Amino acid sequence: MNILDTILGAQGGSAAAGAGQKVGLTQDQTSAALSVLVPALAAGLQRNASLPGGLDALVGALAKGGHARYIDDPAALQKNDAVTEGNAILGHILGSKDESSKVATQAAAETGIKEEILKQLLPIAASMLMGALAKQPIGGAAAVAGVAGVPGLGILAVLTPILDRNKDGSMVDDVLGQVGKIFKR
């Protein structure tokens, strides 16, 4: 199961539904929004993890953050902590509010959902992304730290299914296209 499926299916779909309800979206709108936001966030996460010290910071955040609660307990997404923590996660993943706004603008163009609503959903989606990473079967930090001693292999294995939009087995072309759209200057 990929990260997007983990998020959409968490607690029988009630986690994603609750996140959408918090910002006034229907279940279908929430699925559409998360289907655009999560890959964009994952691309930012992958980019950030490739920077010097980025992978170590991500592993540390997954090991200590208690993010799984955002997948395990839909009520956790209704609390202000989910937004506060999500905004901090966005700061690490995307770097600035301007970049977060670009993600929301792009998602609005792709989904037809108002940008203002997507800006409200974005930090919740970031919290859910970290929760989904923490819940990966090979164990959150291990997924990021690497498999078989190869640093970063784990995160590539986890992120590739959601980043490989054209299903050609490589996420490189898809990530570059998505990052190009989001971070276009």
* β-sheet bridge partners, residue 150: 147
Separation between Cα atoms, residue 116 and residue 65, nearest integer Å: 28
Residue 175 lies in domain = 3-182
Global pTM value? 0.74
Distance CA 182, CA 185 (A): 9
Query: How many domains is the chain partitioned into structurally?
Result: 1
Mean pLDDT in residue range 89-116: 91
CB–CB of 123/48 below 8 Å? Answer: no
Number of other residues whose CB lies within 10 A of the CB of residue 49: 21
- Residue 86 pLDDT more than 60? yes
**What confidence score (pLDDT) does residue 146 get?**
41
State phi, psi for 94 to the nearest 5 degrees.
-105, -25
- 27 pLDDT above the threshold of 50: yes
- What is residue 56's predicted lDDT score, i.e. its pLDDT? 75
